[in-house]
Amino acid sequence: MNNLIGIMLVSTILWASGCGKSSEGNNLDGKWRGTVTEEGKSTLLELELRVKQATIEGTFTILSETGEDADKGMVFPIVQAERSGNNLKFIVPISEGQVDDDAIAFELLIEGKNLKGHGHELRKGSDNLPVTFTRQE
């Protein structure tokens, strides 16, 4: 019985100090930057995430491109964000907040300070483009 009380006490101390966080408790809050390359053009992207209880909210920003594009500097909301274990999925509606063929779906794996995976337009036949976002300190 004394061992059980000791184990419970240590568990409570670890939980209170934050040392007992599981991978499910990884904090996604903050800014993440990544680059995607398509047809020889690299685009610098920023993802800002906020986790509120079980809801993930955020924005997706096109920071720069190697070519001329009207989307540079544009900020889009993310929608339909969900996390399952170390997997994160969300959609970026490009056309006035509408989830249509131009929207971009992301499927990412949470790996410490990186979110690795791919994005693709919802348009039929669009290619998966690899992307890695890195947490900004």
Q: 16-66 pLDDT, tens per residue?
A: 333 333 344 468 999 999 998 888 888 899 999 999 988 999 999 988 865
Q: pTM of this prediction?
A: 0.75
Instruction: Give all domains of the chain, ordered by start, each with its CATH number.
Output: 25-135 (2.40.128.120)
What are the pLDDT digits (tens) for 89-114?
999 998 877 898 989 999 999 999 99
**Which pLDDT score, from 0 to 100, does residue 13 have?**
31
**Which pLDDT score, from 0 to 100, does residue 41 have?**
83
Is the pLDDT score of 77 beyond 70? yes
Look at residues 87, 82, 121 and name the one whose alpha carbon lies nearest to residue 104.
121
4-37: b or e for each residue (b if 16 or more CB lie within 10 Å)?
eeeeeeeeeeeeeeeeeeeeeeeebeebbebebe
What are the pLDDT digits (tens) for 124-133?
999 999 999 9
